[in-house]
Amino acid sequence: MTVSSSALVQERRAVADACGRLEAAGLLFGTSGNVSVRAGNLVAVTATGAELARLTAEQVTVVDLDGNVVSGSLRPTSELGLHLGVYRRYGAGAVVHTHAPTATALSCVLDELPCIHYQLIALGGTVRVAPYATFGTPELAESVLAALDGRSAALMASHGSVTTGATLDQAVENALLLEWACDVYRRAASVGTPRVLDAEQQLAVVEAAIARNYGTTQPLREDRP
């Protein structure tokens, strides 16, 4: 599938806008973190060393699924292998990697983030922590890909977090949700042992969400004779 030049402009701008949104929420700072979105066989991805809060569309690089640069003048993020691995293995539409404070803190002490709140089910339930490996290495990419199996979020031991989505907006929302859930866990753990939803409780949430079309606005229905 070929992507038009106008679509490339839109995707690059969307990546820059997403970085601004994540920075405003406190999930990105300085040059740490990276964001990408897939459009057909091409990927718009943040450049290595770019200051993400001030990122412009021109500072977003476009690569193919083999990592070859096809547009842009800057070298792509050092975590490009992770992003491309997510696209190849899971067919996601976007990837967000941050060093969000609470998620990163928990990645230093937990083996997994348990499903303590029903909203975590939107990420697949329990969030796995990928074993530590040096940033930008194939070993890190592979460990994170394994942690993402059946999930749209993972923590990276002593590093940060990664979320995926069918769209860039969804990947960003998942990053915000993960950081919120990590903060809830941190607060709960400071006063006691957090309760964990078991498999039956999680299934009941899924069934209720489907039955009620949870998460979407719905008009009031007037009774008709």
The model's pLDDT over 34-45, given as tens digits with 9 standing for 90+, comes to: 999 999 999 999
Catalytic one among 11, 23, 79, 179? 79
Tell me the percentage of the chain whose pLDDT exceeds 70.
92
Token pair 């498999």 is at which residue? Answer: 199
- Give all domains of the chain, ordered by start, each with its CATH number: 5-212 (3.40.225.10)
Give me the mean pLDDT over the 168-178 stretch: 98
Is 79 an annotated catalytic residue? Answer: yes
pTM: 0.91
Roughly what angle, to the nearest 10 degrees, separates helices 5-24 and 168-189?
20
Q: Which stretches of the chain are DSSP H helices?
A: 5-24, 80-90, 101-107, 138-147, 168-189, 199-212
Please check the confidence at residue 185 and state whether its pLDDT lies above 90.
yes
Instruction: List phi, psi (to 5°) of 62.
Output: -115, 130
Q: Using only the alpha carbons of the chain, give its radius of gyration.
A: 18
